Structure 1
Amino acid sequence: MGLLGILIGLGLLISFAFRGWSVLLLAPVGAFVTALFAREPALAHWTLTFMNSAAGFFAQFFPLFLLGALFGKLMEDSGSITAIADFMMRRLGKDHAILAVVVAGALITYGGVSLFVAFFVLGPMAQELFRSTGIPRRLMPAAIVLGTSTFTMSAFPGTPSIQNAIPMPFFGTTPFAAPGLGIVASVIMLCFGMWWLRRAAAVARRSGEGFGEGAPATPERLASDDRLRERATVGREFDPAEIAHGQHAEAAPSILVAILPLAVVVLVNLGMTLLILPALDLRFLADERWGGTSRSAVSGVWAVVTALAAAVATVVALNFRRLPTLRATMDAGANASVLPAVAVASLVGFGAVVAAMPAFAIVRDWVLGIGGGPLVSIAVATNTLAALTGSASGGLTIALDALGSTYLMRAQETGLDPALLHRVAVIGAGTLDSLPHNGAVVTLLAVCGSTHGESYRDIVVVGIIGAILALIAVIVLGTIFGSF
Structure 2
Amino acid sequence: MGTFAIIISLALLMFFAYRGISVLILAPIMAAVAILLSGDMLYLMPQYTETFMSALGGYILKFFPIFLLGALFGQLMVDSGAASSISNWIMQKLGHKRAILTVVLACGVLTYGGVSLFVVAFAIYPIAKSMFQAANIPKRLIPGAIALGSFTFTMTALPGSPSIQNAIPIPFFGTNVFAAPGIGTISGLVMFVLGCLWLQSRANKAHNHGEGYGIDTQESERLEDGVTAQGKMPVLLAFLPLLLVIGVNALFTYLLFPNMDFSAFTELYPKLDPAKQTGLWALVIALVVACLSLILLRLGKWNNLKETVNKGALGSMLPIFNTASEVGYGAVIASLAGFVIIRDMVLNVSSNPLISEAIAMNILAGITGSSSGGMSIALSTLGADYLAMATAAGINPELLHRIAALAAGCLDTLPHSGAVITLLSICGMTHKQSYGHVAMCTVLIPMVSVAVAITLGTLFGSF
Normalising by the residue count of structure 2, what TM-score does the alignment of the two structures yield?
Answer: 0.97
Deviation at 1:291, TM superposition (A): 5.4
Write the distance in 2 (CA, Å) between the matches of 1:299 and 1:74.
26
Partner deviation per Cα, 1:423-461 (whole Å, 9 max, x = no partner) = 001000000101111111111112222111111111111
1:231 aligned residue:
none
Gaps of 5+ in 2: none
Write the distance in 2 (CA, Å) between the matches of 1:26 and 1:58.
18
1:165 aligned residue:
167
SS at match of 1:71: helix
Residue of structure 1 aligned with 2:149, choices 147, 169, 177: 147
User: Is the 1:285–1:292 Cα contact (8 Å) retained in structure 2?
Assistant: no
Partner deviation per Cα, 1:94-143 (whole Å, 9 max, x = no partner) = 23111111111110000000111111121111111110011110111111
2:77 aligned residue:
75
1:335 aligned residue:
314
1:348-387 pair list within 5 angstroms: 348-387=327-366
Shift in CA distance, 323/394, structure 1 to aligned 2, threshold 3 Å: same
1:326 counterpart = 2:328:
no
1:38 counterpart = 2:38:
yes
Letter in 2 for 1:108: L
Partner deviation per Cα, 1:222-254 (whole Å, 9 max, x = no partner) = xxxxxxxxxxxxxxxxxxxxx634x72341211
Write the distance in 2 (CA, Å) between the matches of 1:131 and 1:249.
23
2:257 aligned residue:
277
Write the distance in 1 (CA, Å) between the matches of 2:310 and 2:230.
20
Write the distance in 1 (CA, Å) between the matches of 2:402 and 2:270.
27
Letter in 2 for 1:202: N
Residue of structure 2 aligned with 1:258, choices 238, 254, 262: 238
Residue of structure 1 aligned with 2:221, choices 214, 218, 233: 218
1:48 aligned residue:
50
Deviation at 1:285, TM superposition (A): 4.1
Write the distance in 2 (CA, Å) between the matches of 1:46 and 1:297.
28
Deviation at 1:329, TM superposition (A): 0.8
Deviation at 1:260, TM superposition (A): 0.9
Write the distance in 2 (CA, Å) between the matches of 1:303 and 1:381.
28
2:96 aligned residue:
94
Write the distance in 1 (CA, Å) between the matches of 2:230 and 2:282.
34
1:244 counterpart = 2:225:
yes
Q: Which runs of 4+ in 1 moved over 4 A?
A: none
Write the distance in 2 (CA, Å) between the matches of 1:19 and 1:285.
48
1:458 aligned residue:
437
Partner deviation per Cα, 1:34-69 (whole Å, 9 max, x = no partner) = 222223311111100111111110000000000000
1:470 counterpart = 2:449:
yes
1:268 counterpart = 2:270:
no
1:403 aligned residue:
382
Residue of structure 1 aligned with 2:417, choices 433, 438, 443: 438
Deviation at 1:372, TM superposition (A): 4.6
Deviation at 1:13, TM superposition (A): 2.0
1:164-203 pair list within 5 angstroms: 164-203=166-205
Write the distance in 2 (CA, Å) between the matches of 1:90 and 1:355.
52
Range that drifts further, 419-428 or 16-25 = 16-25
1:58 aligned residue:
60
Deviation at 1:75, TM superposition (A): 0.8
Write the distance in 2 (CA, Å) between the matches of 1:95 and 1:12.
45
User: Is the 1:249–1:323 Cα contact (8 Å) retained in structure 2?
Assistant: no
User: Is the 1:283–1:294 Cα contact (8 Å) retained in structure 2?
Assistant: no
1:225 aligned residue:
none
Percent of pairs with identical residues: 45
Write the distance in 1 (CA, Å) between the matches of 2:425 and 2:324.
26
Write the distance in 2 (CA, Å) between the matches of 1:346 and 1:17.
13
Write the distance in 2 (CA, Å) between the matches of 1:427 and 1:37.
34
Letter in 1 for 2:219: P
Say what the alpha-carbon RMSD is for the aligned residues.
1.3
1:226 aligned residue:
none
User: Is the 2:31–2:329 Cα contact (8 Å) retained in structure 1?
Assistant: yes
User: Is the 1:262–1:311 Cα contact (8 Å) retained in structure 2?
Assistant: yes
Deviation at 1:11, TM superposition (A): 2.6
SS at match of 1:219: coil
Count matched residues. 460
User: Is the 2:19–2:416 Cα contact (8 Å) retained in structure 1?
Assistant: no
